[in-house]
Each structure stands twice: as C-alpha cells, then as structure tokens.
A = this chain, B = another copy of it.
Amino acid sequence: MARTPTTFDPFNAVAEPKRRQLIQAMGAEELSVNEIVERLGWNQPSVSKHLGVLKQVELVEERRVGRRRLYRVNAERLKPIFDWVTPFERMWSERFERLDNVLEKMKKEK
C-alpha cells in the first residue's frame, strides 16, 4: 500500500501548503478560477488542479455561470480538523503557561 491519497479526506487535501494558501485566499468569497489565478499569481492549470482535489473532498463547491465556474469554500469540511486539534489546545494555551509561571514562582519563593 502507498501513502494516503490526497483526495482521501480534508486532512490529506489540506496537507499540501498551496492548497491551504488557496483556501485562505478564497476566504468566504465566491470566486471564479481567473480571479483566484490573479489573486495568487499561479498559472491557471495549477489552480484548476488544486481546486479539483479540494472539490473531490468537498472542501470547495462549484457553481457554473456561463463559461465561468465560481468556487467557494465549504468550511464545514474543515470542522473535523478543528475538532481533532482543539482538545490539545489546553496543552499550550496561555492559561496553562500562566499556571506554570505561578508554580515556578511558588517554587522560587519557597
């Protein structure tokens, strides 16, 4: 067996840095391929191909209008990533850093 395919799930689709960049550049807007091309400065086939992957995992949705195709981010598909990573937040968050600091001080003052 080989590596998990990029189209397997949002985790794999989004592992590619350019695809993260693409999603971030789109934000909440609905954009045509050419608008994305201009915004990112990549060549058109590259944008289309990355959109193709994102579409397969439903991270973007496509709407055809005339000869253009309008894409928008389907943020719900990012929720599994958010849900997986969020529980770990307490391990690095400021609240606990502060707690650590307090404990450090208590040590020193003792």
Contacts and interface: CB of A to CB of B under 8 A. Distances in A.
Per DSSP, chain A at the interface is: helix
Contacts of A15: 4, 11-12, 14-15
Contacts of A56: none
Contacts of A3: 3, 6, 16
Nearest to A77: B92
A3 to B, nearest CB: 7
Q: How many copies does the complex hold?
A: 2
Interface residues of A, number: 27
A84 B20 CA distance: 8
A11 to B, nearest CB: 5
Interface string A22-35: 00100010000000
Contacts of A4: 15-17
Residue from A14, A15, A20 having most chain B Cβ neighbours under 10 A: A15
A82 interface: yes
A47 to B, nearest CB: 17
Contacts of A79: 92
